[in-house]
Each structure stands twice: as C-alpha cells, then as structure tokens.
Amino acid sequence: MTKQGNFIVFEGIDGSGKSTQIQLLADRLRQKNISYYMTMEPTYSPIGSVVHQILAGRVKTDNRVLAALCAADRLDHLLNEIDGIAGKVSDGYTVLSDRYYFSSYAYQGVDMSMDWIIHTNEQSSAILKPTVNIFIDIDADTAMERIMKNRFHQELFEKKSRLQKVRENYLEAFEKLKNSENVLIVDGTKSMEEISEQIWTGVEKYFV
Ligand code: ADP
C-alpha cells in the first residue's frame, strides 16, 4: 500500500510570499525525491471560476452566496476524481496548496465572523485536515509595496485597509484553531531563504 502523502497549506495576504515559498518547498522536495502536487484555492473548476469572477469584481453577489460557492469549490477540490486533494494525498503525493480554509473569504470575509467561517469549514476539515497550515505573516504596508512593484494592475480587493483587516482575520482564526490544527506562523518580512529554512524546519518532521 502506498504511504499517505502530506497536505501542506500556505495562507497569507496577497504579496506575503505564498507562491514563492511553495516553489522553494517544491524544489526541496524534488531534491529529496518526494513526489508533490501543487494546487490553489479558489480552483479553476467551473465553480471556482465563478468565485474568481466575483473576487475580481466582475460578478456582483453577496457574502452568503460567495460563502456557499467557496464551500462547494472546496468540496470539489478535496474530492473530485481527477485531481482532488484527498486522492492525491492517498496516492502518496505531498500536496502544496496556496490557501485552503480561508482562501476566498480572506478578501470578502471582512464582514463575516471568523467563528462562522471556521464552522463552514468543519465539513472539509473532517474529510482531510492539513498536516500543517503555514501562515506567512506580513504587514499590509509591505504587502502593498510588493503588489505595487510587481503587478501591472491591481485587483479590486487589493487595498491596504482590506489587507490589514484580512491579516487580523487570519490571526484571529489561527488563535481559535491552534488546539485543533497545526499552525506554523512565519515572519514574511525576512529574506526568502530565511523563511524557506524556517518552513522546512517546521515541516520536515512530517517527512520522516
Ligand atoms: P503571494 O503568492 O502570497 O501573493 P508572491 O510569492 O507572489 O506572494 O510574492 C509577491 C512578490 O513579493 C513577488 O514579486 C516576490 O518576488 C516578492 N517576495 C516574495 N517573498 C519575498 C521576501 N521574503 N522578500 C522580498 N520580496 C519577496
């Protein structure tokens, strides 16, 4: 029987360095001959594509509809037969996911209670809990600087006040989840290499 893989989730506001660190962790896993699979939320499934449209401001809706769509996208992301996370993990892949529980709520979740968001995720968490949730924490000023420097155009939701609120939401959620989930909080203002080392130190025990 194949050994189960791990499920490593990266969370953080835009510009915090998630995709950079996923790439660096993937490089490390490749050198160690550990098979991995990279994915993200919202997905680009039919449901996830609608979520992307809403987040970009091209489709108007309210938070309840968005929350329901996100929950549906997450369930598909977990369980679909082609590239569902649960199947990949049971096939022995280490799945590296750019966001999971908080994905889309991160931006629209400004007006939602984190208790409620955690509650809506209990179903997914009962099916497959992340091995570790890595929260790359940076302040909204640094995030905005990086976004302004590196993007041709800003998304509608990338505003400093929102990023700040979202960061607070993340911290509140992780404080509440810390007894039921493995949460690793890393300082995202350090150098890419330092963060990558800290992440590896935090996750390598799961790879032995
Ligand atoms: P995210 O996926 O969280 O939005 P990215 O990994 O795309 O973040 O990083 C956003 C930008 O910031 C990129 O241009 C990246 O090169 C840069 N960046 C990422 N990590 C760091 C870091 N530790 N220090 C300085 N710049 C960084």
pLDDT of residue 107: 57
Nearest to 8 by CA among 38, 30, 48, 43: 38
Q: What is the pTM of this model?
A: 0.94
Atom of ligand 1 nearest to the CA of 23: 6
Average pLDDT for 74-87:
95
- Supply the pLDDT for residue 178: 87
- pLDDT given at position 155: 65
25 CB within 6 A, ligand 1: no
Supply 108's token pair. Answer: 């629209």
Q: What are 121-179's pLDDT values in tens digits?
A: 888 889 999 999 999 999 999 999 998 887 766 665 678 888 898 899 889 989 998 89
Q: Give CA–CA dist 21/151, Å, rounded.
A: 18
161 lines ligand 1 (CB under 6 A): no
The pLDDT of residue 188: 98
Q: Which of 22-26, 110-114, 153-157 has the lowest mean pLDDT?
A: 153-157
Query: What distance in Å separates the CA atoms of residue 123 and residue 120, rounded to the nearest whole number?
Result: 7
Tell me the CA distances in angstroms from 96 to 68, 133, 145, 188, one per residue in order: 24, 10, 26, 18
Q: Which residue lies with its CA nearest to atom 6 of ligand 1?
A: 17
- The pLDDT of residue 67 is 81
At 78, the pLDDT band (50, 70, 90 cuts) reads very high
The pLDDT of residue 150 is: 79
